[in-house]
Amino acid sequence: MSSRESHGLLHPAGSPEDAWWRHAVIYQVYPRSFADADGDGVGDLAGVLSRLDHLTSLGVDALWLSPFYPSPQVDGGYDVSDYCGVDPVFGTLAGARHLVATAHERGLRVLVDLVPNHTSDAHPWFVAALASAPGSPERARYLFRDGRGDHGELPPNNWRSIFGGTAWARITEPDGTPGQWYLHLFDPHQPDLDWSNLQVRADFLDILRFWLDLGVDGFRVDVAHSMVKAEGLPDWDEPVRMIGGAEHSSPQEAPAPMFDQEGVHEIIRSWRRLLDSCPGERAMVAEAWVEPADRLARYVRPDEMHQTFNFPFLTAGWDAEALRKVIIDSYVADDAVGAATTWVLSNHDVVRHASRFGMPDPTGRPNGIGARDPQPDAALGLRRARAATTLMLALPGSAYLYQGEELGLPDHTTLDDDLRQDPTYRRTHGVELGRDGCRIPMPWSAGAPALGFSPTGRTWLPQPAMYHDLAVDRQDGHPGSTLELYRELLRVRRERGLGWGSLTWYAPLADRPDVLAFHNGEVLVIANLGTRPAPMPEDTHVLVSSTPEAPTDQIAPDTAVWLVSAS
Ligand code: GLC
C-alpha cells in the first residue's frame, strides 16, 4: 500500500464549479412504491409530483426514477414493452414531461432508467421475432439459437439465469413445431437483445434521444456490463451471480462470457457522444457489477459513463477494514481515470441497510429476509444505518439514496410468501426470497389509510406494522429523528462543500482498525464500527452526530460524527 493510500491525502479536493454529477446526492424513486395518487395501490408519476416537496426539503440534488415505461410488470417494470411511453399504471407521457419540468423548476435534476440488455417478451420487436422465421432480421434482434441434442431439445449452452434456472427458453415456431431457443439472463419474459445487431444500436440511440429531447438530465443504465456476450456464447461453469457478486477477481482473469466484455465500451462511447452533443450537463450512471475497482473504472473513462454505482461499498457490510479498503480502492481507481467516485448503501435490489446491519452478521448479503429467518435487531440496525449514512455523506463524490432510507426504513422481513412478486422467488422455488422486502410502499402519514401512500388504503405490497412510527409526519420537525438527521447531513454537506472536498486520513486514530477517521477539508469525520468507545479529539465540537444525543467525550460504538475545531 502506498503512503497515499494508508495515510495522508487520499483524494484531492474538487471545486463547486465541477459538473453537478461529480458531487450530487441523487435520490432513487421506485415509482411503484413512492406515492399513489390515483388510489389503485400502485405508486405513480402524479404521486411523485405531489411529493417533490419531500425531496426539496430533504436537500437532494437530483432524482432517479426506476422504470415507468409500458410493461407487463413481470420484473417491476424492468421488462419494457415500449421504451418511449409511460405505462397507464404510472400515468401518461404528458405527465412525465410535466414531472421533469416541475422538478427542474424546483432545482432538481432527473435521471431515468434505461434498460438496454433485454426487452419484455411483449415488446413488438420480440412479438415480431416469434412470428418470423429463424434467420430473419426480426429474430436477429435477439439471441435466438438452435438447441443442442439430436432434435434441438437441449439449450444451446449451459448458462444460468440470474433469477435462477436455465437462461434459455424454447419457442414454438409459427407452424406449431418445437423451435429455436432464446437467451434470457433474467426472466424468460425478458429476452436479451443482440447488441452486435446494428439496428439494435440505432434504435437505442433514438430512445436516448427521445428522453434527452424531453428534458431528462441523463440515465441510470441497467446491467450496463452485460449487453455484449462473448463470441460463440461459450459454456460457463461458474455460478452466475450478479446482484452482490463479482465474476472475477483480477483483470487478468477472463470475465464471465455474459459480463464485462470489451465490446460494451464501444456502445457506451456512442451514447456519451450523443449526451455530449446535447445542451446542459447530461450524465449516465452504470449499474455494472464489475470488480475489482480498476476494472470497474474502465466504465468511467473520460469518453464513457460519468459514474458507476459503487457496489463494493454497498456490499462491504458494517466492517471498518472492508470499508477502508473500498474507499481507498475506489479513489485510487477513479482518480486514475479522472472520474468522480460514487457511494451507495441501499437500492431496490438489496436488503435495506437498516436491516442488513441489524443481522447477526452485519457483513452478510441475504437476498431477502423472511419470517422463518433470524430477524434483524431493528434498533441496532437503525443505529448502524444512521452511522453508515453519516460516514457515506462525508465522503467526497456523489451519493445515492434510496427512497425511505431517510426514514430509517427496514425491509419487510416477515412478508407473507404468497404475496412475493419478485421472479427470483418463483424461479428458485423459494430458495431465494428476492427483493420484495425492500420495495414496500412508503409511509407518509401515520394516521392515514396505507400510511398516506394511497388515498384508498390499497397497497400492492403490505406495509409492516413497524412503518407506522417511521412515517414522514412522525419524524418531520422532530430533532433526533432519522429524517431530520438526513436533512442536517445534506445541509452541512452542502454548506461545507464535502461533496467536492478532499479526503485525508486522520493519523491519531490510526491504531484503531475498527474506526474510520479522516478529514474532509475542515471537517473531521470519525465513524466507530467497533465494540469499544473511541476518544473524542480535544478542542473539537460536534457538527452532526448519527446519534440523537451528540457525544461529549467519547464516541460510542456504532456512531459516526462530523467534528470541527472548537477554536
Ligand atoms: C437490474 C435492476 C433489477 C432488475 C434487473 C433486470 O439489476 O436493478 O431490478 O431486476 O436489472 O433488469
Amino acid present at 409: L
- The residues carrying an active-site annotation are 222, 287
Q: By the 8 A CB rule, do 442 and 393 touch?
A: no
Please work out whether the CB of residue 436 comes within 6 Å of at least one atom of ligand 1: no
Q: Each residue of 284-305: pLDDT tens digit? A: 999 999 999 999 999 999 999 9
How many CB atoms lie under 10 A from the CB of residue 335? Answer: 16
Assign 3-state DSSP to the chain and report helix, strand, coil percentages, each to 5. Answer: 30, 15, 55
**All cell numbers assigned to 470:** 417511521
Task: Measure CA 358 to chain center.
Answer: 20
Task: Measure CA 92 to chain center.
Answer: 25
Q: Residue 452: left if φ>0, alpha if ψ -120 to 50, beta else—which one?
A: left
Looking at residue 253, its pLDDT comes to 63
Task: Measure CA 94 to chain center.
Answer: 27
- The lowest-confidence range among 6-10, 70-74, 182-186, 266-270 is 6-10
Q: DSSP alpha helices (H): ranges in 393-458?
A: 423-427
Please check the confidence at residue 1 and state whether its pLDDT lies above 80: no
Q: What are phi and psi of 215, to 5 degrees?
A: 115, 5
Sign of the C-alpha dihedral, residues 528, 535, 506, 5?
negative
How many CB atoms lie under 10 A from the CB of residue 392? Answer: 24
Please work out whether the CB of residue 75 comes within 6 Å of at least one atom of ligand 1: yes
Looking at residue 240, its pLDDT comes to 72
pLDDT (mean) for 19-26 = 98
- The lowest-confidence range among 30-44, 185-199, 202-216, 236-250 is 236-250
99 CA to middle of ligand 1, Å? 24
Please check the confidence at residue 3 and state whether its pLDDT lies above 50: no
Q: What is the DSSP string of 116-165?
A: -SB--TTSHHHHHHHHS-TTSTTGGGBTEE--BSTTS-B-SS--B-TTSS
Q: What are phi and psi of 398, to 5 degrees?
A: -110, 150
Looking at residue 245, its pLDDT comes to 42
**All cell numbers assigned to 532:** 469499544
Please work out whether the CB of residue 185 comes within 6 Å of at least one atom of ligand 1: no
Q: Parallel, antiparallel, or unpaired for β 25-29 and 307-308?
A: unpaired
Please work out whether the CB of residue 558 comes within 6 Å of at least one atom of ligand 1: no
pLDDT (mean) for 546-560 = 97
Instruction: Name the β-bridge partners of 185.
Output: none
Q: Each residue of 84-106: pLDDT tens digit? A: 999 999 999 999 999 999 999 99
pTM: 0.97
Q: What is the DSSP string of 154-193?
A: B-SS--B-TTSSBSEEEEEPTTSSEEEEEE-SS-TTSPBB
Query: Is residue 137 exposed (0-12), middle (13-18) or buried (19+ Cβ within 10 Å)?
Result: exposed
Which atom of ligand 1 is nearest to 115's Cα? 12
How many CB atoms lie under 10 A from the CB of residue 6? Answer: 12
Q: Rounded to an integer, what distance in angstroms lies between the CA atom of residue 336 and that of residue 330?
A: 10
Which atom of ligand 1 is nearest to 163's Cα? 10
Please work out whether the CB of residue 78 comes within 6 Å of at least one atom of ligand 1: yes
Task: Measure CA 187 to chain center.
Answer: 19
Which atom of ligand 1 is nearest to 242's Cα? 7
Q: Parallel, antiparallel, or unpaired for β 554-555 and 534-535?
A: antiparallel
Q: In the Cβ-directed half-sphere of 216, how many Cα atoms lie within 13 Å?
A: 23
